[in-house]
Amino acid sequence: MGRIRHPHIVRLYEVLACKSKIYFVLEFAKGGELFAKVAKGRFSEELSRKYFQQLISAVGFCHSRGVYHRDLKPENLLVDENGNLKVSDFGLSAVKDQIRPDDGLLHTLCGTPRMLRRRS
């Protein structure tokens, strides 16, 4: 998230760490998850277009910077106090640097470290 700064992406202000935890200080999106708004009923065509345009603007910007979200869903799309969409939760994201030149594929691990250790 440090690579990207866009009006429709939740801003990362600071990363703090101690021995056992990592803390992220993020922009607050007062409107909550898009998922909760969808659950209440249909959006107007105008509002749907607005959200979709904001989403593709954010995703296009990420891709231009070599960042791939890989977990876009209504729970990871927030709404700010002005009714604008904000993409959040880059926990499964990958960066272009992780693409291997020999096969052109992303080689990343997904999941919690505890689960990954069990598989080894």
Count of the separate structural domains present in the chain? 1
Residue 107's region, left for phi above 0, alpha for psi from -120 to 50, else beta, is beta
pTM to 2 decimal places:
0.77
55 within a domain of the structure (yes/no)? yes
58 within a domain of the structure (yes/no)? yes
Active site residues: 71
112 within a domain of the structure (yes/no)? yes
38 within a domain of the structure (yes/no)? yes
42 within a domain of the structure (yes/no)? yes
4 within a domain of the structure (yes/no)? no
Q: What is the pLDDT of residues 45-93, one digit of tens each?
A: 999 999 999 999 999 999 998 898 989 999 999 999 999 999 999 887 8
Query: Residue 116: pLDDT band by 50, 70, 90 thresholds?
Result: very low
Give the residue ranges of DSSP H helices in the chain: 34-39, 45-64, 113-119
Q: Which CATH number covers residue 83?
A: 1.10.510.10
pLDDT at 9 over 50: yes
Nearest CA to 8 among 56, 46, 58, 45? 58
Average pLDDT over residues 2-23: 91
The Cα diameter of the chain in Å comes to 49
> What residues make up the domain containing 61?
12-119
111 within a domain of the structure (yes/no)? yes
Cα distance between residue 31 and residue 83, in whole Å: 7
